[in-house]
Amino acid sequence: MNKIKNIGVLTSGGDAPGMNAAIRAVVRAAIYYDLKVTGVLRGFEGLVHGDFIEMDRKSVANIIQRGGTILKTARSDAFRTPEGREQAYQQLLKHNIDGLVVIGGDGTFTGANLFASEFNFPIVGLPGTIDNDLQGTDFTIGYDTAINTVINAVDKIRDTAESHDRLFIVEVMGRDSGLIALRSGIGVGAEAILIPETNMGVDGLINRLENGRKDKASKIIVVAEGDEMGAFNVGEVLKKRFPNYDIRVSILGHIQRGGRPSCMDRVLASRLGVAAVEGLVSGSSGVMVGQVNRELVFTPFDHAIKHIDAQEVSPAWLKLVEILSL
């Protein structure tokens, strides 16, 4: 065991189901290895201002099933500045914190990577984002719950679409990643899926509708929020091209972030949380811990964030969508 005696843990960026399970795993793993653990409230903003709480077994009792994050999360303009990061570093020294576990997405890891390099401070990250847009892990914490939330919602929309012979355009989250749209679209049997990673565009969508089944009055089109057209623009174009269709647009929004995490997300968060503590103890820093082909892997922050090596959608998935949408 190295010099790590007190581990800080924070959640940053958008909340994701399973973050609480990850916090629980970090706290209990730290206690198992006879380490102190300190919770940082409101992410990097709390780090700058020293908004810390001491955590123990009771702190994380009965939270594995809860959505959101008990440590809360917030944007931090102060942490973007050298002065703010210096203040955060002094807070860590003041409270005798030797290492950090940060739970979040690419923005979180960008900030953590900069901080770790500036102050040579040990940090290990956990991939907590519904977008599944990080390299170095097959799935991010929260992604499985989010796509199941989408499926449950669209199944209900399908009921009313069938009842009224309507075409529904459903927009899902994911920022500039279409992976939520892709998997949930396949799962709900969507007639078409528009994602930023492909170039189908509205012309391709029109072609598919014109040459698709004519005996199916109700249709579901899933659109990723990062698609260049956007759900409402797609709706306007289709209304002009197909005036006989009864077209509705539904934006699922933030319900995709909330709710009880699925079993998969709880188990993934638990496994990665323990691995993060063990990584810090063994001297790892500046890395994200993920799961690839069921094995734990540590990926440097600058390779994990999506702008460095954007995740591509396999042509096999796109062919699957084409086959199943007939």
| Residue positions annotated with a catalytic role | 131
Question: 199 burial class (0-12, 13-18, 19+ CB within 10 angstroms)?
Answer: exposed
Asked whether 193 and 171 are in contact (CB, 8 A), the reply is no
**How far is residue 179's CA from residue 143's CA, in Å, rounded to a whole number?**
9
- Distance CA(236)–CA(323), nearest Å, equals 27
Residue 217 buriedness (CB in 10 A; 0-12 / 13-18 / 19+): middle
- Could you give the CA distance from residue 13 to residue 25 in angstroms, rounded to a whole number? 19
Query: Does residue 73 contact residue 61 with C-beta atoms inside 8 Å?
Result: no
Q: Which residue has the tokens 């069938």?
A: 162
Alpha-carbon distance 221 to 219, whole Å? 7
How far is Cα of residue 157 from the mean position of the Cα atoms in its chain? 24
**CB neighbourhood size of 37 (10 A):** 24
List strand residue ranges (DSSP E) for 238-286, in order. Answer: 246-251
Q: How far apart are CA 272 and CA 35, in angstroms?
A: 18
- Rounded to 5°, angle at Cα 150 from 184 and 313: 30
d(CA 143, CA 129): 7
Whole-angstrom distance, CA of residue 45 vs CA of residue 71: 12
Number of helices (H), then strands (E), belonging to the chain: the values are 11, 11
